[in-house]
Amino acid sequence: MNNLAVIKDALTENLNKQMMPFPFDKKICSGWTTDLPKTGDTIIYTSCMYQIETIVPIFNKFLPYLSSLKSLIPLASRLKPSKQQIDRAYLILNNIVNAIKKEGIVPAYFYDEEPYSGAILLEMGFLTEFEEYGKKVYEFFKNKGVKRIITVDPHTHNALTRYNDFFNFDIEVISYLEIVKPKKIEGEFTIHDSCLYSRFLNLRDKYREMITSSGIKLIEDDMLTGKDTSYCCGGPLAPVDSKVSEEMAKERAKGLRKLSKKLLVTCPICYATLSPHFEGEIKDIAEVLL
């Protein structure tokens, strides 16, 4: 069995067991809030992306050796985000929800029941498995009476919108970026765009408007931050080739550092991938604008 097949089997096994791609304590995912309703037709959907993304690069480094490890469970039992990482993720999610509430929306949240979107299956090309898993996620949401999903990251948003390529996903999907308003703030940043938000989900202009209307001066260069000329952080490549992914991240961080010592990102994968290599301050827009 080739290694991609081993990775596919490991991912689908864990998704079938706990609707998460890796084995870990799901209480990490839900610990950021206690006061949101557990039922409602409009939900906030985290897919646990911000909560665990900082430890995913470690899992990714072990994925090529799954055929010899047999299981990630022994590794997972030793790995969890640091308190600082957890506190940061929880702050981002609470900032997002508080900004949504200011617009008169109180979303429901499914706490430990919340499933992962299946984005990694899609992005690794395991399309049959993505379709099968996506149908389970859809059934979960329909059984809960969900009519509108508010996403918080580009990979989850993309996965949900891509369900319609495989089956009829008749639930509205909207990004929090389309709802919230930024607070007033001063400062100077450059930006690393999520490839998905920028090139496929048509939200590039939306969050740029948020940034500039907040009072932030955005430092850009057509070759480094242009829609068609900027490039990926390298994070999505990590499950297949962590070395190439890391080299991409180093080069991307180096280029962005030429523009500013302060960097904004819009995606938890971009943050986790670039932060070890960016010599300066790196923040998610929800940390700064909300």
pLDDT by residue (tens digit) across 112-166? 999 999 999 999 999 999 999 999 999 999 999 999 999 999 999 999 999 999 9
CA angle 147, 114, 235 (to 5 degrees): 105
Residue 162 and residue 287: Cα distance in Å, rounded? 28
Write down the pLDDT at residue 70.
Answer: 55
What amino acid is encoded at 258 in this protein? Answer: K
| Residue 160 · residue 140 · CB < 8 Å | no
Write down the pLDDT at residue 11.
Answer: 85
Write down the pLDDT at residue 76.
Answer: 59
> How is the chain split into domains, by residue range?
3-178, 187-288
| Residue 50 · residue 153 · CB < 8 Å | yes
Dump strand ranges (E) for 82-186.
Answer: 148-151, 172-175
Using alpha carbons, list the distances in angstroms from residue 123 to 151, 155, 235, 237, 274.
Answer: 18, 9, 11, 9, 19
CATH architecture, range 187-288: 3-Layer(aba) Sandwich (3.40)
In the structure, what pLDDT confidence band is assigned to residue 288 with cuts at 50, 70 and 90?
very high
